[in-house]
Amino acid sequence: MSEAFGHNLKLLCSHYRSIAEVCRKLGLNRAQFNRYLAGQSRPTAYNLKRICDFFGVEEHELVLPPDQFARLLGARGDQTAARPQDPLLELLQPLRGHASSLSRYCGYYFEYANCMSVPGQVLLSLVHLREERGDFLFERQERQGRAREGEAEDWVRCRYLGAAFYLQDRLFLIDYESLTGNEMSQTILIPSFKSRITRLNGLKTGVSSGDRRTPACTRVVWDYLGPEINRIAAYRQVMLYAPDDPRIDADIRARLGGAHLRDGLFEIE
């Protein structure tokens, strides 16, 4: 087994609290798994399939060059969404005294929105809302396919970091694009008053990533996935979809739709 296998397996494991947790979930011996990580031993065909199924990857992908494998996954480890010294978070600190707890909303969501950059398409992003030292922080990852003639499809990736507040029966989320530092957006969601959170409706304001960077507002739906998920498998679903794609169910399409919207967007002149 190539050195790349061990390196890529370590990257996959970085999405979990510890190697011990991964071994426990997989039902594999820790000592044997450590040999896989070190590239000293090759998993049996049965164990390799279990590893791939658990992480949501293909066998051939595990032996890709590490840089290529990391780009494929968009993986950066389980990083903190925003740091206490973050100027945005410091600016919003006075709101903490007026905000209610968002603990019941913490977890992972798929965010569906009418794409501001590609009108007529639905953009599915992955959001992680978490609590840290009394602050509610979130990370939103999105990517859009970009194919050039004669070349394989490339991905345009964005990673947003932000803070969330529950103020008088509305969820306010403000974030910035952390890779380029050239964009901010705000999302306002209507809370769920049911005992079980399923989907949240709201509006998002931001700009198109095209040349004009047109300010726009779109409907958005957050679909709750749970407190813990297979992050790698979930990230692989992050992309653009046609509105009638069967992977988007009718309820989400209805929540995003509206005859009075142009391609699902309000354009701000």
Q: In sequence order, which residues have a C-beta less than 8 Å from that of residue 118 and are 6 or more positions away?
A: 144, 240
Query: What's the pLDDT tens digit per position in 181-235?
Result: 788 999 999 998 888 899 999 999 988 766 677 888 999 999 999 999 888 889 8
CB 256 within 8 A of CB 114: yes
Q: Give the rounded percent of residues in the chain with a pLDDT score beyond 70.
A: 84
- In tens, the pLDDT along 94-136 reads 887 788 899 999 999 999 999 988 888 999 999 999 998 788 9
Q: Please give the C-alpha separations between residue 83 and each of 135, 140, 161, 206, in angstroms, as whole numbers.
A: 10, 15, 10, 23
What is the DSSP-derived secondary structure letter of residue 1?
-
Q: Is 125 exposed, middle or buried (0-12, 13-18, 19+ CB in 10 A)?
A: buried
Exposed/middle/buried for 205, CB within 10 Å: 0-12, 13-18, 19+? middle
pTM here?
0.71
- Domain 87-267 falls in which CATH fold? Lipocalin (2.40.128)
b/e 1-13 (16+ beta carbons within 10 angstroms → b): beebbbbbbebbb
Give the CATH class of 3-73.
mainly alpha
Least confident among 26-40, 60-74, 94-108: 60-74
**Would you kindly state where each structural domain of the chain is located, as residue ranges?**
3-73, 87-267
